[in-house]
Structure 1
Amino acid sequence: MARPEPRRIARAVWLTRAGMVWEALAAAFWPLGVVLAGALSALAFGVTDLISARGLLLALALVGAAVALALVWGGRRFHRPSLQAARGRVDASLPGRPLSALRDRMAVGAGDGGADALWQAHQARMAREAQAARAIAPDARLRWRDPVALRLAGMVALVMAVLFAPAGQFGQGLAALGATFRPLPEQRPDVGAAPAWEGWAEPPAYTRRPTIYLNDLAEGQGLDLPKGSKLSFRIYGEGATLRQDLADGVTGEPAAPELIALRSGHVEIGGRSFAITVTPDAAPEVRPVVQPDRRADGRFVQPFAASDDNGVVSGKATITLDLAAVDRRYGLAVAAEPRDPVVIDLPMPATGSRKQLRGQLVADLARHPWANLPVTVSLEVRDGIDQAGRSAPVAMVLPGRRFFDPTAAALVEIRRDLLWSRQNARRSAEVLRAISWQPQDFMDPALVEGLQGAIGTLEAGPLTEASRNALAQVLWDAAVALEDGGLADALERMTQAQERLSEAIRNGASPDEVQRLMDELRKATDAYTDMLAQKGQDPAQKFDRSKQQGQRVTGDQIQKMMDEIQRLMNEGRMAEAQELLEQFNRMMQNMRVTQGEDGEGGRQRPGDRLAETLRQQQRLADEAMRQMQDQYGQWQQSPQQGESGQQGKDGQQGDAGQDLADRQRQLREDLGRQRGLLPGRGTPQGDEARRSLDEAGRAMEQAEQALREGDPSAAMEGQAQAIQNMREGIRSLGQMQAQNQPGQEGQPQQGGQQGGPEGPEGQRGGQRGLDQAWRDGQRTDPLGRPSTGNGNDITSGDPLAEGPDPARRARDLQDEIRRRSGERDRPRDERDYLGRLLDNF
């Protein structure tokens, strides 16, 4: 009896046999595989769409015959390999054929001790040789059976079909094959079709409402349509007629009637009746949100709100001269030349609904002839059918740039008189002669030469409109040059270059474009600093007001900032370059603010402005708290107020949140400008104050975002953090100022009790109160409690916590927070927020 083979040898034999089976199948049926691959590839590439049904049957017969022949040919040649054949193939691959030797039996010499030992040694050696058995790789030798490589052509066709054939084409081909075997439909005599119809109601396109399929409406269901909606029908067959009383008539063909719904009524067709209510389109409405204010930069800013039942399409603001309110003296005494009203398009959102709009119109009208004159402003919006809604005219003085240099102001007034009427030419020439009399001590020679040319133009004869406008531009440029020596224009070019570079980085512009804009910014910065040097000034004089402490931003520091921005962009660190550009932009804004303050002659201490900003932030936080209480229905009100107040609360919640967000943004921008004006740059206290205000700005930004998203709870967290950081910044500022005035330590001062506007150290009375308060170590927490027990005033006579007893108010506030946090019927978000307040404070 043969001994069982080891598992390793048995597995090698089994795998070799499987390979031999594949060899036999491939050798016998490779023609069948080629035929099937070609047929499937043809179906996948849509061969059924290229031939007729008769040709498709013929092709199917040919393929069937080829498949049958290949099956017969392969069946006759296929022989299943035996296990012994597989063992023999493995045995033949080993030296000495050990598998056969292991199955041998000793025929002669059995029982002889020596012969038995020799036989056992031989069997052991064969067993060791058999351990090297491995499966033999199959080889069908198709290269000899298929010398023209038809098998490869079929394989390539099949792979191409899988990769590139249209999706679903194979299924369509099979369906086409199946259709050739379906019986033809039974021919029936023609019968008359029953009356049928379809109808659609299409509202006007400007309403942005979908088309309604009338057949899908339930029996007896009414329909509300805007006025001007188009009803169209398609009638199939005969017997269905249309009756209606919505329109004056029906247009279109009898089988496709159409009508425009102008009034409410009924439509009957094919046994169905529809009651249609036509809603007239209401006229849009617009109103100014607040009274337009006069801005220092001369820009016209008008917030507005507009609404329409279907959406506002366009709007405009019309500015008209209020002639009755003009002070008709001097150059304005003559009759004004007719001038068209100023029409400015209102900004409209590019996407989204326009049913409720809140926006802000901003326009630079500082150079307009009506600048600084009384005007009336009226707003107008239109809807999709050109209905207009207008607001009541608002009287105001059109904003314009203010000139503080007397000569510049006189030139601007002459320009205004010439634009008012060309009859003022002779009078303007006389005034210009007086202005330019003996100009050696106060006027640049080039400017004098330009004014002399203007005088000659005015005295030469009647002015044309073109020459008058050119002369007005010359006078404006001369006034600006006298006012700030061209610094404003240079600063404007530098700011515009920075804004363009920031926009390019945000939009992912090409490296060449970014480099070009960077070079433009560098040139504009160099031109601005050169102009300052020519006037004997320094950037620090425009940026930092603390000259007595020697903290300035020099031209070299600005150049270093430019170099750092360039390095970050070269390294591909665009996010960091963008952040540094934003810091540079804040510097530019601070320069603008400083120029305005210098020109007006006023000088407000940073501590005063910070204290006022802190008070405004506290008031804003109180309003956010009220909004959150209104949102959850917990604002304390009388029962009579509860019912009426709740009805309008939901509609007003969104507008109130956006208004608070806009005010929060204004506070954040104002805080950013104040940070740039802080003294003590480079000192520990000054740097600490700036860091605190930076954190306050970030908290304000988070609060603004939360207000816009309608999350007053998160907004209050950000506002509380901003208040805390601002207090820390003011504390650091007070400590720095106390160190700079050691001689006054311990001397209590009352704001406003000094004889002059400024004390020995150049500080005003109100600022001395701020310094003294912080020298005493004062500090309050967000609940208004003094953390050091030395009072709670950070400005002269103005306690941050309202009421006569801030400590008592803080305790009452804490008790109220604890009471509300314990009420389980309050929303979870509010209770979590109140709990965090108690944990922190």
Structure 2
Amino acid sequence: MTSYTPNDMRRGLAKLRWPLRLTWAGMLAEALVTSLWPLLTVTLLVLAALMLGLQDQVMLEVVWAGAVLALVAGLAALVYALRHFRIPSRAAALTRLDHSLHGRPIQAMMDSAAIGNGDDASMAVWRAHKARMMARAALARPVPADLRVARRDPYALRFVAVLAFVMALVFGSVWRVASVAEMVPGGTGLVSGPVWEGWAEPPRYTGKPTLYLNDLAEGALSLPEGTLITLRFYGDVGALTLAETVSGRTGEVPAASDPQQDFTVVQAGAIEIAGPSGRVWDVTTLPDTPPQVRLTGVPVAAALGEMRLPFAAQDDYGVEAGEARIMLDLAAVDRRYGLTVDPDMRPEILVPLPTPISGDRAAFEENLIEDFSKHPWANLPVQISLKVLDSAEQQGVTEPSAMVLPGRRFFDPTAAAVIEMRRDLMWSKSNASRMVQVLRAVSYQPQDLFRSETTSLRLRQIISRLEIQARFGLEDTAQDALAEDMWALAIELEEGVLADALERMRRAQDRLNEAIKNGASKEEIAELMDEMRRATEEYLKQLQNQQANQEQDGQQQPQGETMQMTQDDLQRMMDHIQELMEQGRMAEAEQALKELQEMMENMRVTQGQQGQGGNNPGEQAMEGLSETLREQQGLSDQAFRDLQEQFNPGASAGESAGNEGRNGGQGQGESHEGQNGEGQGQDGEGQDGQSGQPQAGEGPDEQGLAERQQALRDELNRQQGNLPGGGTPEGDAARDALDDAGRAMDQAEQALRNRDLAEAIDNQAQAMDALREGIRSLGEAMDKEAQGRQPGQGTAESDRRSGNRDPLGRERGKNDSASSNVPGDGPFRQGPDGADTARRLLDEIRRRSAETARPEVERDYLNRLLDRF
């Protein structure tokens, strides 16, 4: 059993030397804070008042009353400190340290046995107990001091005193404290002569601090233009006088000896305070230059009429506001048809210019985005002038620039005619009679002009109302109502209210074809191309549903000249058309669009490989996993763009190199052009027709990135439940890879919810790699299953038809080559230039397959195409 001696106790207490000293120091600090806080509070308040110069702003009697009050408060605080301050003893520190330990081992070390001193066994137990207490006491740590005095200061007066003292340090002066001595009866205040104080306060918008002139030495002094100078003279009137040439004041100017002097610096000059302790400053003004604004580019108009006008503004202290003034350029108007009469008087268009919501407004670039499609001056020559204003009410104006006020373009001839008549109506009320005649002539044979009788009746009603109003005088309210009805009619004629997806797709193709012929801008073509993509996707969805219904009813597919393509093939063809238009090869783009239109008329969409009709579960699983991979790629692209915008918020959407998913690009991810951008991916539906994934084009307002990632994870779980190839090594490898992809998706979702975009992108990349591995393993399992399948199991006819078509679904010729070389045997072989078209398509496939930035799945598909050719 362990022995314990008095020497051991002394050694144990020696180990507690520093914890005991530090605990005693903390107790001393507690005693000082708890007893001296009233005295410190009074002292800081008095110093703050003196440093801020309050004694110079009030009457002398108030200063004396304040001094008496401060003295009484100081004496009371001193008495409080003397009554409550006690120096802590070593025993108290030892007791506090002992209380911080479990079982109070220090007290146990110093205790002695009350009974059993003659019993060796009892003493052995006692010594063992004290040895354990000594070991426990050796673990003692200093007890932190409790400096909280909130219970003694419930109104937090100490914090008020500290805040007042800090403000005095920032805005006051230590030298002002000495001025209170001059106010003591019998002091030297009046004997030493007069004194003065002065402040220079720059305009608030400059952001510059107020200067205390007493702290400034004589010499050069630079002040912003508009600085307010305030001077106060104390003592005998006339002992101090002011002479200045910076205000430019004329007329009634206060006397130079006036005790209060206030004036504004508007020019360079001198300020002189003549008399005892006087000073002279040579003032130079920092001019406030007027703001500047300029156009940085030409206005860009979208197909739907939205105008984007880039401009830049700058000012030395910041632009306060701005506006754009648009005036009709009557001299440049082509005065024909309904524009030959004098126009009705209309006010100028005033549009506020956008300015940065936060940040520096000294120099910035913005875009004025407005839609003037409904304005009477739309598509007419105008003069535009920009004006900006700074905080000093100074203006910066640009010279009027000539431009055509952008408006919506209508490609349908009937809609364009209605819009032209609407323009004539808004141009002048006197055009009403002429408009009735023109509209009646246009709608003479409505069955050849309108797609529905409802549209024809709407136009007929507009004509009747217009005729009545023209006969009895057209009022302003009636003019606006007719213009609104004609606008709605033109929109219906242009876009239609058709429920049939095929007709909507045809109309979108016709509008795009008309835009190519009319030389529309790239922005308009890109917008119309997106519209055609959406209409085509709606048509393909309807076609898939129709085909599924026919298969459920046991109906046979129609025989004849049909075309089998996947949506990816169709998407690539539309990408090729858009690339041709962006390169300015309009003739080739028009021909390719014509071929696409003819192909869509006879096309039958397959959900799996060509000829199988989507009945094979393995093909359905492959298609679903490929769709999940595309959706995951789009989601990763969106997260990467958000990460870019965090570090580069000034970057314009859609202009970053290599940024996929923009309008007109590959279409992965979201569009930055708006919240309703379309993606390249499928409609997000599973093979059963139920939507299991969010569409790639859904905006952040509809579903957050984390929710979209969770939905994608749920869809992968559903697909894993229907995965074929169970029991084979390849099928098990595919399931393991998809499990890894699911775990990576869960981690990506958690990172997105934590707003850790970098971590989310890494996890999404791991998920995509695992998905690719799963697709590859599943393909190997399906290949082995196909090799072991015997003839006569319902696949011979499908294999025969599939083997007779190339990867784009085209029938092969007799020599087993792509039949695109045979004139007149398919959409790509109509006319003498069919071979050139096929050669260009092959070159395009080679070019895309060589681009390493493309997804691996797409490059594998392109390489398979090259192998087949």
> Who wins on radius of gyration, i.e. which is larger?
1
Q: Could you tell me the TM-score, scaled by structure 1's length?
A: 0.49
Q: Could you tell me the TM-score, scaled by structure 2's length?
A: 0.47
